[in-house]
A = this chain, B = another copy of it.
Amino acid sequence: MLTNRSPADELRSLRDRIVRLEEDKKSIGDDIKDVYAEAKGRGYDVKALRITVKRQMESVSDKRARQETEAIAELYLASLGMLDGTPLGEAARKRAAAPPPSEPGPDGEPEQEGDGTAERPEPPEPEAPPATIGPEEIDAARERGREDARSGKRIVDNPFVAGDPRRAAWDEGHCEAMGSDGMDIPPPWRRLPKKRKGEEPEPAEGGEG
């Protein structure tokens, strides 16, 4: 009889199957370690490489959840004045400009940044930078962000271009004002209810020509 005929045999079989699998797993783990060591030896930053691996292995729902969390965290950091000179990313900026997307995109036409550009009746006319930018200009930009927020200007219309250190300060001011306007928490600060999970990892590699 081929099946395990007694619990003692069965237990031994279970143990041995697991032990074998664990050995295989450990072997692969060692291989991974080797690849990282090789990368390190060639001058790559292992920590950054790990990030690319993790991103590559994300499912689409994982990616969406991560991006949403990052966007909210940026809004929180901005309102707390903790941006450290890094302006809001586009995802956070768009989230702040509108209520959180009700759904990932009803008809498969989600997140088209082109819309935002198209809607603007006229480009915000970026500011010409002054001769020098010091702490006073930074603070002025933050204050101006507060005022612009109160006057209804949207956060996507930050007047300072990428690369201008005042851009982050204006964002901070705007987000702070956004969180101070009313008694209730702004909708972009809330997480969307839930997402289904279990999707398979990224099928295709995005952007590879």
A contact residues vs B (CB 8 Å cutoff): 5-12, 14-15, 17-19, 21-25, 28-29, 31-32, 35-36, 38-39, 42-45, 47-49, 51-53, 55-57, 63, 67, 69, 72-73, 75-77, 79-87, 89-91, 93, 111-114, 116-118, 126, 129, 132-133, 139, 142, 156, 158, 161-165, 167, 169, 172, 176, 178-186, 189-191, 205-209
Contacts and interface: CB of A to CB of B under 8 A. Distances in A.
17 contacts: A6-B182, A15-B49, A18-B36, A18-B53, A19-B53, A19-B56, A19-B57, A43-B185, A43-B189, A44-B185, A81-B208, A83-B207, A85-B113, A86-B90, A112-B165, A114-B165, A169-B207
Interface centre among A19, A24, A39, A77, by most B CB within 10 Å?
A19
Contacts of A172: 207
A6 B162 contact: no
Given A21-B31, A161-B162, 13 more contacts: A6-B179, A6-B182, A10-B42, A11-B49, A11-B179, A22-B53, A25-B32, A42-B185, A48-B72, A48-B75, A85-B113, A86-B90, A169-B207
A209 to B, nearest CB: 7
